[in-house]
Structure 1
């Protein structure tokens, strides 16, 4: 199976690198049953992030119906009220909707063995493209009000597992997202081994729409 991490112009590097490292370690732990790729939306090649001009190389093109995970990062860039600064994070995320990614994510949602996962503003990019209405998700705390305005049910949790959609909050939550995906697919022993390797303990409870609902406080 594949873990495909999508690169687009202005992506946040940590949103990409944290899941990439965790899932790569998980792939080694399961004997290569998982392949981790950095993918372009329409073509392979270098893609420039929103942080300091850092570039990463997409080695493949996104194959949305392949079994596994399609992981969409958030964006990085200047946060300014200055109208002359156009590459703000909301603008970068909105531009994702003008690419071929929304169509490919729709294909991923329709594939029986594919899970769409997002880190930080990745869920907001998909929501603004009209893909998450009625779903449970989370984004960076600064964007949750916008996420809610798209018709998404915002859950204030570190990781939200809504079946074929798994989302994570702020930037470093990409670690928790990837560990949860390993746990979900390969079990807790694999996830725990990767936690020990990176000396990282997962934060928070993974929210899922199952079980008893708590009574009002």
Structure 2
């Protein structure tokens, strides 16, 4: 199995590094059953994050037909108040710029590929939603972006990790740890995920939400 973690200009480093480290450790624990790479829509290049000019290198172009996982991060930038005018370094602007690249088309191809599971961390689900790829799907994102998910026709869920079949999403920035550990459990088994939890001295938080089981009664 191969995991491709997407980089785009203005990405949030923790959205990338947390899943990368977890998945890489899982690959070691699984004896090489998983490989992990940083990719971009444009191919190999230095990609500058939205945090202090920190750059990471994409080593390949995103291949939407390659079986495995595609992980989409969010952006790092100025949050501000909702009534503020957007600035070039604001998160909505950084996320919106991805729509002017080849990334939406590549992500659509990945979503259409039965052998690929697409996952997102934080604002990564907003990238997919703004590209029109999540209408009617269940997803989560940072709590400040849940209304925007709703506005794009997504069935927003206030949960740490949401499993919607071939699309799995994580909420706030640090949820990349929980998302990646869950993906390890789902794809390689609980023993591998538990070994990585022990290595990093971190236990997954919250219940993974799925559209299954009875609805809670009353005011829940």
Deviations 1:67-104 (A, max 9, x none): 11100000001234664832200011111111111111
Whole-angstrom distance in 1 between the partners of 2:6 and 2:39: 5
1:208 aligns with 2:210: yes
In the alignment, which residue of structure 2 is the partner of 1:133?
135
Whole-angstrom distance in 1 between the partners of 2:149 and 2:185: 27
Matches within 5 A, 1:61-210: 61-80=61-80, 83=85, 85-210=87-212
In the alignment, which residue of structure 2 is the partner of 1:53?
53
- Assess if the C-alpha contact under 8 Å between 2:162 and 2:170 holds in 1: yes
Whole-angstrom distance in 2 between the partners of 1:136 and 1:62: 24
In the alignment, which residue of structure 1 is the partner of 2:16?
16
Q: CA deviation at 1:216?
A: 2.6
Q: 1:84 to 1:134 in 2, by over 3 A?
A: closer
Whole-angstrom distance in 2 between the partners of 1:22 and 1:48: 22
Which ranges in structure 1 are unaligned for 5 or more consecutive residues?
A: none
- Assess if the C-alpha contact under 8 Å between 1:138 and 1:144 holds in 2: yes
RMSD: 1.2
Whole-angstrom distance in 2 between the partners of 1:125 and 1:164: 17
The aligned length equals 217
Q: CA deviation at 1:209?
A: 1.1
- Assess if the C-alpha contact under 8 Å between 2:87 and 2:93 holds in 1: no
- Assess if the C-alpha contact under 8 Å between 1:97 and 1:126 holds in 2: no
Which ranges in structure 2 are unaligned for 5 or more consecutive residues?
A: none
In the alignment, which residue of structure 1 is the partner of 2:41?
41
Report the TM-score when normalising by structure 2: 0.95
